[in-house]
Amino acid sequence: MTAPLRSPEPIVVNVGLAERAYDIVIGRGLLATLGPRLAAMRPGSKAAIVTDETVARHHLEATEEVLKAAGVTSSRVVVPAGESTKSFHPLQQVCDAIIAARIERGDLVIALGGGVVGDLAGFAAAVVRRGVDYVQVPTTLLAQVDSSVGGKTAINTGHGKNLVGAFYQPILVIADTALLDTLPEREFRAGYAEVVKYGLLGDREFFEWLEINWQDVFKGGLARGNHPAPREYAVLKSVQAKGEIVARDEHEHGDRMLLNLGHTFGHAFEAAAGFSDRLLHGEAIGLGMALAFEFSARRGLLPKAEAERAIRHLAAVGLPTHVSDVPGPQPGIDTLMDLISQDKKVKRGKLTFILARGIGAAFVERDVDAGEVRAFLEEKLLA
């Protein structure tokens, strides 16, 4: 599934979706290859680059230059940074800008940014002219290991996160790990929550590797012989895991639900915090995973010590693991339960959670009793 692990050679992971298959290319300095890759894939095409104000300051001009050098004409669509941009009005603005730039079905949309930009630009690409090809150039760790892979595109509504969207696969993902050098530590830590998620849900060996090597992932340690550098290896293992699950279950009818470990609890707290800087998405997922493991232990699904080990690692890297770790006023229990009831995995009004029988052994639990969840959360809110 991957190219040989020779650093600094780029690592290529193919997401096997038949006619919708695409490559994820991982390595340092890959932004410089974007123009030649697109010129080869779509000769004569134009591109609309969708990005946010923060990413634009760091990477937009360089992106435009590499496209121009390869003969790819581009236009820019710059949106405000932040989760609030993933909503109806900004979506309309992005769609209008893409149409105004005369992007046709044979052209491209480039999502240059983190998860917000990727979700927003991908959704716009899915609906403009009933579908324009798009490319993900993720600039955050969270986007490189999670949101850029798998074709989930969406915006938020007042009822919850990612409730309006489409499954729409990119044609290419360029995960340039050098772009992470400008990422604030808090944002990197939030992205790490999605990295460790893959170990917690299905790969105990990877989790144990992260327990030992997480600091080198944060620092960007060097390659060791023929083995990729720790940061590139963490991205590789993450996208391999997600790519394999997506190839089996593109539209989230089965195994793909496992990727939502921590998300049912996490999304509720994120929405209750107003999708604000009080609680970043990755921080919410870290909290959600801690709660999911504790809830699993409470139900007797795994030993308490196993849950404590998972939570201890999340806390060690600086992610929130207790409700009291979230700054500001705590949400009310009715608010949380209402948000949980709007989760995308709810079927016929029945709650579905991703729980665990151990580290690396997550599973889908349907028909979870709402009263049991309520009692658990009430205890956490009082702790």
Which residues are catalytic, by number?
130, 152, 194, 242, 252, 256, 260, 263, 267, 281
Six token digits for residue 85: 């941009």
User: In degrees rounded to 5, what are phi and psi of residue 74?
Assistant: -135, 155
Look at residues 273, 268, 302, 283 and name the one whose alpha carbon lies nearest to residue 373: 268
Q: What is the DSSP letter of 152?
A: E
Contacts of 236 (CB under 8 A, 6+ apart): 2, 5, 11, 13, 26, 228
Please, how many CA atoms are within 13 Å of residue 168, restricted to the half-sphere of its CB? 24
Q: Coil, strand or helix: which one is 44?
A: coil
Contact present, 84 and 275 (Cβ < 8 Å): yes
Residue 164: beta bridge partners?
Answer: 155
Q: How far is CA 97 from CA 53, 76, 83, 124, in A?
A: 16, 9, 20, 10
Question: Taking Cα atoms as reference points, which of 291, 97, 320 lies closest to residue 192?
Answer: 320
Nearest Cα to Cα of residue 209 among 222, 223, 195: 195
Q: Whose structure tokens read 């929130």?
A: 320
Give the pair of three-digit tokens for residue 215.
């600091």
Strands 11-15 and 22-27 turn out to be: antiparallel
Amino acid letter for position 12? V
CA distances from 246 to 117, 167, 263 (A): 21, 11, 17
